[in-house]
Each structure stands twice: as structure tokens, then as C-alpha cells.
Structure 1
Amino acid sequence: MRHRPLAVLLMLLALLVPTTPAHAAAPVQVYGAWHCGDDYCTWSTERDLAEFDAKNHWLIDRGDGRPSVNLVVLSFVEPLKLLRRTTDAGTVDGVPAGMTREIVQYFTSRGVRVMLSIGGITYTDAWDAALAENPTQLGLNAAAVAADLGVGIEIDYEQNTDPDLVGLQSFIDAYRSVHPYDATGSRPAARLTIDTAAGDRWLIDINRKATADWLRTDAPVLDYANAMVTARPSSASTHIAHWQEHIDGKSQFAPPVPPLAPAKFTAGLYVAYGRSPLPECTDFATSLQKATGDWVRNAAPHGAGTTAGLLGYMFWAAEKPSTRGLGTQEPDGCEGGIGAGATAYGVQVPMPPLRQS
């Protein structure tokens, strides 16, 4: 009986001492920005490199010579023009005139990976039309552009009602016939990703198909998905709740949406919105990428995958994504937000091989 007080004391002390996590936090492997150019995501004008650098230098220099990101996604390519290899006032052989080899090399020469995004909400009808006309040729054209420029391709098909999933499957099959899935990530053109909604309640059919058939860890077809930004910036808890939906899936839907492995998607946040600077751009200490960082790096699998933690973050969007708002132009850019986050999270440049499970 004389040992009982000591035993009780030791039990109380054990409850007060924080436990060590069962796993180390996953590294932030993808830390990128969609880039809309200076004309609201059309990229219809070829840029002078000096002028481009004056507005975008923060992306390749966080203040100490290291890039702020390890990925830039040039947004957007119009699907129907890519299918038809259109050349007009703002397009060259199906690609926006501003998405030049020189712009790609501006980033890749600093170790920053580059991708082209096909679609966006403005080009939803164009996606429908291109998939109806010839999805296989669209996939082959995308593969040719990727090989020519040394970039990857992002699918941003934002059709919420009755998307053409058969056509989209044909597009992906055609692309993969030229650039097979590459787990090492060493071949830029083999990187093929897809955008889904912030959570599971929009773009449901696309999300269900992608999760069930293209983003499986045992038989991957696409490299990963981007959980896009919400309708407007929100709280850390709201963003986390959306991202958790992907991990959990929606068993109550008919048919259900299966769970997605944390290692198969990134979390999207605004870096430019409205007329006031966001902390995501200017102040990492008060930013959402800091407030959500522990969750993003430790989110546990819940039915798919074996490792904890999302792949990282994507930010919408560099330079001038809207006719309204400030954008992210120099002199300071987003060194204090995204750049500081890259340092805090130890983001590797170039991007390392991605976790596969």
C-alpha cells in the first residue's frame, strides 16, 4: 500500500507529458503557384523577359537567391485551340503566345518545374467541345507540346454537370501512350495531374472518376490532384474540413466517392484575392499555409494510402489572375509569405521524387 501514492503520481505525470507522434511530419514536396501572366490568365501576348522578371522575380528568388516555389503552372491553354493547333492573334499552334520556350526556361533554369494547365472555368465549354470532337487527338497534341517545351500538363476540366468522362479517359490514354507514368518524376513531360474541387461536393463526377481510377496508389495513372481553392479565402478550419473530405470520401453519395490517399493531392490556397494583400503573400507568420501546416504534413490516411501528409500546397495565383485585385507583382512579390514558407518548410528545389503511397 505504501507504493500507491508514487504510482498515482507517475500516472498523472505521464498524462501531462506530450506524447511523441507515431511518425515524422511528411515533407512539403509540392510547393507551387498557378501563374496567370499579366492579362488575366490568357497569356495572349509574348513577354519581354526583362519586363517579366521585373514583375515575377520573387518566384525565382525568395530574397536569398533561392526560388520561392518548386513548381509554376502556366494557366490557361484553351482546349479547342490546342486540339485544332490554332494560330491567331493570341495563339501559336494551339498554345497561348505568351507561353514561350523562354518563359519556361526562365523557371526551369533555376530548378523550378513548369506545367501548362489546360482549361480553367472560362474554357469549360471548350473542353466539352474538344472532347466531343476528338479527345484522342487532343491528348496526343498535349503530349507533343509537353515534349517540345519540356513541361508537364494539368487537366483543369471544370464541368460540374455531366462531364464527358469517356472523352477524358481517351485524352488521358492518348497522353499516357506517349508519356507513360513515371514514379521517379525525372521526365517533365510525364507529369500529368488533375484539378478537383476544394472538397468532394463540387465536380463530383470528375472527382469520383479520378479518385477511383486515376489516383490509386496501386495502379497510378495521374501523378496527383490539386484540391483547388474555395470560392473565397476562408479560415484554417474550413479549409482543413474541405481537404479532409478527399481523404474520407463520400460513402453516402450514390455512387459513393472513394477515399483518396493523402499522398495523391495538394492543398490549394489563395495568394491573391481582392484589393488587400493576403498573409499568404506577405506574412507567413499569420498565413493559412502556416496555420494549416501541421495538418497538411500529418493528415492520416482513412481508407486509401499508407503514409500520412498531403504532398504540399498550390497557390492561386501569381501575377494578375483577375481584372480586380492587386495580384502578386514586384517590388516585393510574395517573398514574405510563400518565400518564407518555402524556407520554413524546407521545400526542395528542384522538386524531389514524390511519395507514391
Structure 2
Amino acid sequence: MRHRFLLALGLLIGLIVPLNSAATATAATPLQIYGAWHCSDDYCTWSTARSVAEFDSKNHWLIDRGDGRPSVNLIVLSFVEPLKLLNKTNDAGTVNGVPRGMTPDIVNYFKSKGVRVQLSIGGITYTDEWDAALAQNAHQLGLNAAEVATQLGVGIEIDYEQNTDPNLTGLQAFIDAYRSVHPYDATGAKHASRLTIDTAAGDRWLIGINRKATQDWLRTDAPVLDYANAMVPARQPSVDGAIANWQEHVDGKPQYSPPVLPLAPAKFTGGLYIGYGNRTMAECTDLINSLQYLTGSFVQNVAPNGVGATSGMLGYMFWAAEKPSTRGIGTQPPNTCEGGVGAGATHYNIPIPMPPLRQS
């Protein structure tokens, strides 16, 4: 009887774990980042302060995958409007340039569970505001961002989505000013020293920003930014499409003039949707059929192509928790994501809190 039980159990496990799963890749590099962008309940404006109890009623899955452990090890509160941050605006939705909903209570809601927190500056909606703020006083914008990071004990993400003519001189001044207050910290111990940047899903959009970041800010020998997030494309990709996008970052674009250099796998994450329109995505509810499962072998094993010493990307980022758009179901109850993102955290044994990141 015991023999038959073990045989049946083995067959069941064989059915559950497909051959292309990362679980079969014995030399796979462990994922270090497994996070979500968070849009609050007002479509990414965070313009209203919320009580912890009310916030928890909509977001508990993020700090409890069902067994008391968080579903993610990083939350990025999205978005801070750059021009308001520069001017330290006070209005109905903003206090000293920071959205009213991005409070110490909400930051500590996550940090008390070991989940790292960042604030994202920008987003596609605020591209013009990024342009204006950088043109007006990029240095002061960097100092103001550093001040907010200090006050809240968070990192900062640069989400500057100017595709045609990005102000790279201004962005360099922003980064220099931020780093004058919070120098690069390879250990990750000082949360305010975590400064990251978003790039496109692959190398064919945001080319100027991606080229500059890869060449000057994401180098393994002289890092300035901690890492990049390869953002979600216009819609959820196929398995092959996601892998092709991420491989572009690893390979670079030598045929471009000037070229986009290869990026070390240890210097970026890959973005996926957990909700798209009115559909509940497998990425939210069904791990076995999700992209974070089906692309896992690639993400954990992709080899460097001329830059970097270790295989495997840093991990995954998910767009986006709670209510990212006026249309769509979001991730509020009953459409919570323990069965997709949360189960993935268990499957990949995601470290919480986030460990020091690989540097090359």
C-alpha cells in the first residue's frame, strides 16, 4: 500500500511540474526580486490618504499569500508627479510634492512585513511633467527626491517615458544630485540608496534612455543605478514574446547607430501584467499557466552576452496592484492574487526581506 501511494504521489508531481519549469533547472540562479507596482484605489494618483485597516481590506494578499508570508518582497508606489515634487506643491491631492496617499503608515504596512518599498516618479501620464521639471531644475528635483526617500525610508524609481527626445543631460543631473545625498550602496542596507530606472520591455522603445542607462548607469564595474525594470509591453506577451523582449536587453542592439550595449542579466527584472482590461490573468490566479512560471527557466538561466559574470535575471515585477485604470477589474477582492503571484513566491522560494543583490 505504501509503495502504491508513493508511486501515485510521484506521478502526480510529474504532472504538476512540467519539463520547462524552473524547478527542473538544478543550476538555476535564485530570483532576488519579486515585486509589484501599486496604484492605490484611484488609478495611480495616490491622491487620498487611507487608513491602514481600509488599505489592508483591499490589499492583504500582498502581505499574506495564505500562510502568513508576503506574496512579494518589493512594492513600488506609483506615481509621484515630477513637477509637483520639484515645486513641493501643496494641493488637494499632494503634500510637499508627494501624493497624500503615500504616507508613513502605508510604507510601514509593507516594511513591517519585510517588504521593501520604493516610490516611482513619473509614469507615461507624467512624461511632459518630467520634461518640464528636468528643464526647470533637474538638480533640485534630485535633491527633493532624495529628501523624500530619507523621510519615508524608501527607494526611488525613475519612470521617465520620453521616447522621442529625452532630456538625458537633465536626467544625469537628477541622478548626480540624488547620489550626492544617497550614494550607491551595494549591500542594499540603506533603503533610500536604492535608485532604479524603468526601460521598455525590449530595446526598441525608449531607445535613448535605454542606451544611456545601459552604457553609463547600469555597468557592473562602476554602477550608478541599482538595476532596471524591463516594463510591460502594450499587452501581455506570449511566452516566446516575453523571452524575446528580455533577450534583447541581454544582447543589446549592435546594429543601431550608436549601438545599445548589452546589459548584464543581473541588472534587470522583467515586467508582467497581473490584470489586463476586464480579464483576470493567470499571472494573478493560476501559477501553473502563468508567464512567471512558464518563463522561469529563462529568467533564472539566461546567460550574459558580453557583459556580466552570472546567469539569470534579477526577477519579476507585476503591473499593477489594486486599481491601475478606470477600466478593468484590478486586484481588489475577490480578484486577489495569492494563487498566482503568491504561489509563485512559494515556488521560487522568494527571499523576504530582499537580500543584497547580485552585482555582476
Report the TM-score, using the length of structure 1 for normalisation: 0.93
What is the alpha-carbon distance in structure 2 between the residues aligned to residue 101 and residue 240 of structure 1?
37
What is the alpha-carbon distance in structure 2 between the residues aligned to residue 22 and residue 94 of structure 1?
46
Alpha-carbon distance, 1:330 to partner: 2.2
The residue that corresponds to 1:72 in the other structure is 75
Report the residue type matching 1:132 in the other structure. A
Structure 1 residues 83-232: aligned runs within 5 Å: 83-232=86-235
Alpha-carbon distance, 1:303 to partner: 1.2
User: Deviations 1:165-214 (Å, cap 9, x if unpaired)?
Assistant: 00000000000000000000000000000000000000000000000000
Q: Which runs of 5+ in 2 are unaligned?
A: 1-23
Q: Is the aligned partner of 1:249 residue 2:252?
A: yes
User: Deviations 1:114-138 (Å, cap 9, x if unpaired)?
Assistant: 0000000000000000000000000
Q: Is the aligned partner of 1:53 residue 2:52?
A: no
Alpha-carbon distance, 1:333 to partner: 1.0
What is the alpha-carbon distance in structure 1 between the residues aligned to residue 219 and residue 26 of structure 2?
22
Alpha-carbon distance, 1:23 to partner: 7.8
User: Deviations 1:233-269 (Å, cap 9, x if unpaired)?
Assistant: 1211001000000000000000000000000000000
RMSD: 1.0
2:25/2:297 contact within 8 Å kept: no
What is the alpha-carbon distance in structure 2 between the residues aligned to residue 22 and residue 57 of structure 1?
32
What is the alpha-carbon distance in structure 2 between the residues aligned to residue 67 and residue 335 of structure 1?
9
Alpha-carbon distance, 1:332 to partner: 5.5
What is the alpha-carbon distance in structure 1 between the residues aligned to residue 48 and residue 190 of structure 2?
28
Alpha-carbon distance, 1:48 to partner: 1.7
The residue that corresponds to 1:8 in the other structure is none
1:74/1:114 contact within 8 Å kept: yes
The residue that corresponds to 1:276 in the other structure is 279
Say which one has the larger Rg: 1
2:280/2:335 contact within 8 Å kept: no
Count of residues in Structure 1 that have an aligned counterpart in Structure 2 = 337
2:120/2:159 contact within 8 Å kept: yes
Report the TM-score, using the length of structure 2 for normalisation: 0.93
Identity of aligned residues (%): 75
User: Residues 155 and 274 of structure 1: is their aligned pair in 2 closer, same or farther, counting only changes over 3 Å?
Assistant: same
Q: Is the aligned partner of 1:336 residue 2:339?
A: yes
Alpha-carbon distance, 1:349 to partner: 0.4
1:85/1:94 contact within 8 Å kept: yes
Report the residue type matching 1:35 in the other structure. H
Report the residue type matching 2:145 in the other structure. A
What is the alpha-carbon distance in structure 2 between the residues aligned to residue 181 and residue 258 of structure 1?
22
The residue that corresponds to 2:330 in the other structure is 327
What is the alpha-carbon distance in structure 2 between the residues aligned to residue 122 and residue 238 of structure 1?
25
**Which runs of structure 1 show a deviation greater than 4 angstroms over 4 or more consecutive aligned residues?**
none
What is the alpha-carbon distance in structure 2 between the residues aligned to residue 200 and residue 45 of structure 1?
36
Q: Is the aligned partner of 1:316 residue 2:319?
A: yes
The residue that corresponds to 2:12 in the other structure is none
Q: Which runs of 5+ in 1 are unaligned?
A: 1-20
338, 356, 359: which one aligns with 1:356: 359
User: Residues 182 and 322 of structure 1: is their aligned pair in 2 closer, same or farther, counting only changes over 3 Å?
Assistant: same
Alpha-carbon distance, 1:331 to partner: 4.0
Report the residue type matching 2:203 in the other structure. D
